[in-house]
Amino acid sequence: MNITFTIATLDKGGAERVLTSLANKFSEDGFNVRIIYMHPQAIAYPINTNIPIRCINVDHFTEKHSIFERIINFTNRVFLLRKEINSKPTDLIISFGDSISVTMLMATFFSFKKKIKKIVSVRNNPSLNAGTLVRRLVTIFYKGADAVVVQTSYAEKVISKFAKNVSMVQINNPVKTLHKSNPYNFSEKKYTFLSLGRYHYQKRHDILLEAFKILCKKHKNVSLCIAGKDDGERNSLQTFINHSGLQDKVTLKNAVDDVYELILKSEVYVHPSEFEGMPNSVLEAMSCGLPCIVSNFDGIDNIIEDKLTGVLFPVNDKNSLVKQMENVLEDKKLRQSLSQNGFESIINNFDFDKIYNKWKNLINRL
């Protein structure tokens, strides 16, 4: 079978990591795989050398583009993608993300010489990552897909309101489990708290820094590391750190190639996002047994059961976050329980091979 993956970029990011991992595995299993992406940015994750990679080389939409320019550019994208898809035999297209998925569905709307099956993978919270009008337009196009893969029950519920009679399948994000047994221990770590995610308002690192500042008044020897790609917020976060006198306690890092190295150097993972799809960083932290404190954004219940596999706090609630950080830090028994339960949940529900088999079963049913 010939499988084509499409995505906006191959830069650092959760969707990019999942796509490249699945593409590599399908290729190793004997499928003919290729990847088409839109924006000319660096390729962040290893891709098997026998997988053809093609960039259609278009720019991102920005606020500088007028409505007319966006329509012209989008139309151009559709034809460029259609030409690229049609350049090689394709039996199935798997598309990751809204923008590229709509482009792909438009590009394949008019019949090719043979029927191409199409799967759309929704990667973020479908009610918050775009306005209602945009969401309605996007989900209308989902009707052209043979299957829509969602990560959470919440996403399935939201999409079903906008797009009737769409075939939806829930498949968790996969995690490559590096450890057969829980590696977490209580030895001294470099960082007390760790948070991974791009420097963007959605991730609410500002809330985390405010909570950490309060925590430092009682706990003098704590430290915090935040690592991710800069999407415009890093300078303001660094300014807050400097003004708060936290330079010796807080480290801001760029996105790292080996997140597991950072995870294993940390005691507690904190994820304060305002909204998400299914954050890979939380799954990766749990796969190493790191106790997790996570905001209760829509869909998080597919990953975290409060006080069992992790600890939840209300979105954007700084004071609740301080309380949970303090509870986990001071209660060694709780930390051990969260660590072990979280690790076992990853093994049982998010293991890469198990998730890959769900994708393969879906393809076989189409």
Residues 197 and 324 in one domain: yes
Residue 135 belongs to some domain of the structure: yes
Which residue segment(s) compose the domain that 296 sits in? Answer: 191-349
Residues 110 and 155 in one domain: yes
Count of structural domains, the chain: 2
pTM for this structure? 0.90
Residues 144 and 102 in one domain: yes
Residues 167 and 291 in one domain: no
107, 90 contact by CB (below 8 A): no
Residues 324 and 356 in one domain: no
Task: Name which of 258, 256, 303, 306 is nearest 278 in CA terms.
Answer: 303
Residues 203 and 337 in one domain: yes
Question: What's the pLDDT at 164?
Answer: 76
Task: Name which of 207, 199, 206 is nearest 228 in CA terms.
Answer: 199
Task: Name which of 104, 52, 62 is nearest 80 in CA terms.
Answer: 104
CA distances from 62 to 66, 137, 334 (A): 9, 19, 46
Residues 167 and 203 in one domain: no
Question: What's the pLDDT at 113?
Answer: 54
Residues 94 and 222 in one domain: no
Residues 232 and 207 in one domain: yes
CA distances from 260 to 173, 176, 289, 290 (A): 17, 11, 11, 11
Residue 180 belongs to some domain of the structure: no
**3-state SS class at 33:** strand
Residues 164 and 217 in one domain: no
Residue 42 belongs to some domain of the structure: yes
Task: Name which of 122, 212, 206, 210 is nearest 172 in CA terms.
Answer: 122
Residues 147 and 208 in one domain: no
Task: Name which of 364, 359, 35 is nearest 169 in CA terms.
Answer: 359
Residue 184 belongs to some domain of the structure: no
Task: Name which of 60, 26, 25, 23 is nearest 41 in CA terms.
Answer: 60
- pLDDT tens track of the chain, all 366 residues? 999 999 999 998 889 999 999 999 999 999 999 999 999 888 999 999 999 999 998 876 666 767 777 788 888 889 999 999 999 999 999 999 888 888 899 899 865 556 899 999 998 887 765 555 556 667 778 888 999 999 999 999 888 877 777 889 999 999 988 899 999 999 989 999 999 999 999 999 999 999 999 999 999 999 999 999 999 999 999 999 999 999 999 999 999 888 999 999 999 999 999 999 899 999 999 999 999 999 999 999 999 999 999 999 999 999 999 999 999 999 999 999 999 999 999 999 999 999 999 999 999 999
C-alpha–C-alpha distance, residues 199 and 255, integer Å: 10
DSSP state of 350: T
Can you say how many angstroms the Cα of residue 88 is from the centroid of all Cα atoms in its chain? 29
Residue 181 belongs to some domain of the structure: no
Residue 202 belongs to some domain of the structure: yes
Beta bridge partners of 349: none
CATH of the domain at 291: 3.40.50.2000
Residue 294 belongs to some domain of the structure: yes
Beta bridge partners of 167: none
Residue 198 belongs to some domain of the structure: yes
Residues 203 and 146 in one domain: no
